[in-house]
Amino acid sequence: MATLLQRLEAAGYRDGVDLFGAPYDFRRLLQDLKGLIERGSAAAGGKPAVVVAHSMGNLFVLRLLARSSPSWRRRFVKHFISIAAPWGGAVAEMYTAATGDVSAGLQPVRLQVGSFESNSWLLPSSKAFGSRPLVVTTRRSYTSADMPEFLSAAGFPDAAKTYGSRVLPLVEKLPPPGVPVTFVSGTGVATPELLVYGDGFAQFPEIVYGDGDGTVNMESLLAAAVEWSGLPEQPLKVVKIANATHVSVLIAEETWREITEQVAAVEVPSKRGKTAEDSEQLSSLSF
């Protein structure tokens, strides 16, 4: 995200004037984000915001929009640009829970990381993955419907309880946000889609790969678009970027083009058609 922010600043956006960042604090995020959008709109002369989110940030933006009134959304949010959203979780998160993310150096602290409730948000959901096996051992297989059992087997009985009572009711629903949405995601990058273990999770698994952005599976990246497609009250657009990873999608030219086009559309008709480089102040942006 830092590179994208640097490019926006190079195009003339100023922090706290027409460019606003939303720091993550799970205790206060939704209310703070709502206030940030309102302040950003006021700073931009009352123009609605173009909200840009990456990865898990999309899940929080959706919760805010779904909980807000239609009148609030019409006044304050012009467009939602969703980048690399794990709408239906990711098989890679099951690897983190069972084995530990070696590439990120998380294997020694697997038990601590696995206990974080935010990690449970990223486990595969049935909305995206259906009933196909995602993890297989010599004793049994686990589908998206078996997350409590999987968490218990991986050594997280407390997380298994909270998943069923608190996480599942949230992740199994994808209410439309009620504002135009552009989905931007990478495709064509090998992404774990099946983990084959031996007897339990003591050893590293054999990994079967499928399509995605290297982190999030394509079924998950497109889950919301599939869910909302055809709803007349929910305009949407899907942009797939070949060979873009979960991180490199942020600096892809296609992503930059979508952001500048949507921001330019906020301007009054006399100014439309200008790019971010041409306009003094287009609108507020929230990350």
> Picking from 64-73, 165-174, 263-272, which range would have the lowest pLDDT averaged per residue?
263-272
Q: Give 205 or 202, the one with higher predicted confidence.
A: 205
Topology, domain 2-9+19-86+174-182+215-286: Rossmann fold (3.40.50)
DSSP the chain: -HHHHHHHHHTT--BTTTBB-----TTTHHHHHHHHHHHHHHHTTTPPEEEEEETTHHHHHHHHHHHS-HHHHHHHEEEEEEES--TT--HHHHHHHHT--TTTT-GGGHHHHHT-HHHHHTS--HHHHTTS-SEE-SS-EE-GGGHHHHHHHTT-HHHHHHIIIIIHHHHT-----SS-EEEEEEESB-EEEEEE-SSSSSSPPEEEEESBBSSSBHHHHTHHHHHHTT-TT--EEEEEEET--TTGGGG-HHHHHHHHHHHHTTS-TTTTT--TTT-S----EE-
How much is the pLDDT for 118? 75
> Picking from 87-101, 111-125, 126-140, 216-230, which range would have the lowest pLDDT averaged per residue?
111-125
C-alpha gyration radius of the chain: 20
pLDDT over threshold 60, residue 189? yes
**pLDDT category of residue 73 using cuts at 50, 70 and 90:** very high
How much is the pLDDT for 4? 78
How much is the pLDDT for 114? 60
Q: Which distant-in-sequence residues (6+ apart) come within 8 Å of 104 by Cβ?
A: none
The reply to whether 213 belongs to the active site is: yes
What residue ranges do the domains of the chain occupy?
Answer: 2-9+19-86+174-182+215-286, 91-171+191-210
Annotated catalytic residue: which of 213, 220, 283, 286?
213
How much is the pLDDT for 272? 36
**pLDDT category of residue 286 using cuts at 50, 70 and 90:** very low
What number of CA atoms fall less than 13 Å from residue 48's CA on the CB side? 18
Q: What is the mean pLDDT of residues 184-199?
A: 97
Decide the pairing of beta strands 49-54 and 77-83.
parallel
How much is the pLDDT for 279? 31
> Picking from 2-11, 146-155, 180-189, which range would have the lowest pLDDT averaged per residue?
2-11
How much is the pLDDT for 105? 52
Annotated catalytic residue: which of 18, 125, 246, 279?
246
Q: Which distant-in-sequence residues (6+ apart) come within 8 Å of 12 by Cβ?
A: 276, 277, 279, 280
Decide the pairing of beta strands 135-136 and 141-142.
antiparallel
Take residue 127 and report the two structure tokens written for it.
């909305």
- What mean pLDDT is reported for the chain? 86
In the chain, what percentage of residues exceed pLDDT 90?
Answer: 60
* Residue 212 one-letter amino acid: G
Annotated catalytic residue: which of 41, 55, 220, 284?
55
Q: What is the mean pLDDT of residues 105-132?
A: 78
Per DSSP, what are the bridge partners of residue 194?
208
Query: Of 76, 68, 93, whose CA–CA distance to 192 is shortest?
Result: 93
The reply to whether 246 belongs to the active site is: yes
How much is the pLDDT for 176? 97
How much is the pLDDT for 12? 83
Select the highest-mean-pLDDT range: 37-41, 169-173, 223-227: 223-227
Give per-residue pLDDT as tens, 11-31.
888 887 888 887 666 555 777
